[in-house]
Structure 1
Amino acid sequence: MIAKFKPTWMISEIYNISPTKLDDMGIKAVFSDLDNTLIPWNNPDGTPQLRNWIKDLEKNNIKLVVISNNKHSRVKRALKSLKLDFISRSCKPMSRGIKAALKKYNLDRNQVIMVGDQLITDVWASNNAKVRSVLVKPLIESDAWNTKPNRMMETVLWKLLKRKYNDLNWQEDIDDRD
C-alpha cells in the first residue's frame, strides 16, 4: 500500500525540471497541480521564473496542463494571465482528472509526467493512473485550510516511505528512469 505514495522523482521546484530533458525522454505534456506547485495558493500571479519555464516548455513542444481539485471558476481565475489549459474538479487522488487529460490530448501514459506538492493527492493520483510523478516542495510554507489535514497525514507517510525505500532523495532535475 505504501508504494502508492512513492514519487518517481523528487525535485525541489517545478521550474527545475528541464524541458530539454523532458523532450529527450519523449514527454509531450506536463500535468501539474495548481496550488503551491505552479503558483502559491494565495497568489495567482505567475512569477517571471514560471513564465520563462512555460516558454521553454513551448519551445520544446511540450504542453502544460493544470490538473486541480479546485472548482472551475477558481482555476480559470488563477490561470487567466497564464492562458493554460486545465482540468478542474479532478478528484485527486482518484485518476479521473489525469485520465481525462490523457484522453483530451490524445496522449499515452508514457508521454506525460504529473507534478505536484502532495503525496496524498498528486503522487497517489499519478500512481493510480500509472503515470510517472514528480513531487516538488510547496512554493510557500502555508497551505489553504483544506490542505492542512493532508500535510499531517504526510508526516506519517514519509516515515513509512523512508523505512521502505532508501532512494527517496531530492534531485536537481529528472533523469530517464521509469
Structure 2
Amino acid sequence: MFERLVPKLRVDSVYQIDLDRLYAQGIRGIITDLDNTLVGAKAPLATPELANWLEQVAAKGINVVIVSNNNANRVGDFSTPLRLPFVYKARKPALRAFRQALHILQLNASQTVMIGDQMMTDVLGGNRMGLFTILVKPIAPSEEGIGTRINRMLEKVALVRLRRRGLWQEEDN
C-alpha cells in the first residue's frame, strides 16, 4: 500500500518539470491538481508565470486537464480564462475523475502524467491509474483547509514508513 504513495518524480514546482523530456518519453497529456500545485489555495487566477508555463506546455504539444477535489465555482473560475478543461469534486484518489480526464485528453495512461502536491490524493490516485506521477511541494501550505491538513498528517506517518523501507530518501522531503 505505501509504495503507491511514492511518486515517480519529485520537484519543487511545475516550473522544474522538463517538458522536452516528457514529450520525448511519449507524454502528450498532463492531469494536474489546482490548489497548491498550480497556485496557492486562495489564488483566484493564474499568475503570469503560470500562464506562460501553460503556453509552453501547449507549444510542446501537450494538453492539460485540471482535476481538483474543489467545487465547480473554484475550479471553473480558475480554468475558464485559461481555456482549460477541468473536473471538479473529483474525490481523488478515486479513479472516476482520472478516467474522465483521460477521456477528455483522448489519451491512455501511458501517455499522461499526474502532477499534484498531495501523496494521499494526487500521487495515490495517479499511481493506481497507471500514470507517471509528479509530486510538487505545496505553494502555500498556510492556506490549506482542514481536509488537506489531515492528509498532510497522514503523509507524515506514511513518510516514516517509506523511509524505513528505503523507498523515500531523507534528503528528499
RMSD: 1.7
| Contact 1:39 1:139 survives alignment (8 Å) | yes
Structure (1/2) with the larger helix percentage: 2
Measured in 1, the distance between the counterparts of 2:106 and 2:65 equals 13
2:151 is aligned to 150
TM-score, with structure 1 as normaliser: 0.89
Measured in 2, the distance between the counterparts of 1:53 and 1:131 equals 21
Runs (5+) with no aligned partner, structure 2: none
Q: Which moved more, 1:144-153 or 1:113-122?
A: 144-153
Query: How do 1:134-173 and structure 2 match up within 5 A?
Result: 134-142=134-142, 143-166=144-167, 168=169, 170=172
Runs (5+) with no aligned partner, structure 1: 171-178
Larger RCO (CA within 8 A; separation ≥ 6): 1
Residue type of the alignment partner of 1:66: I
Aligned length: 171
TM-aligned CA deviation for residue 18 of structure 1: 2.1
TM-aligned CA deviation for residue 46 of structure 1: 1.4
Instruction: Give the match's secondary structure for 2:115.
Output: strand
TM-aligned CA deviation for residue 105 of structure 1: 2.3
2:82 is aligned to 82
TM-aligned CA deviation for residue 167 of structure 1: 5.5
Measured in 1, the distance between the counterparts of 2:146 and 2:167 equals 32
Measured in 1, the distance between the counterparts of 2:152 and 2:15 equals 22
2:95 is aligned to 95
Residue type of the alignment partner of 1:162: R
Query: How do 1:7-22 and structure 2 match up within 5 A?
Result: 7-22=7-22
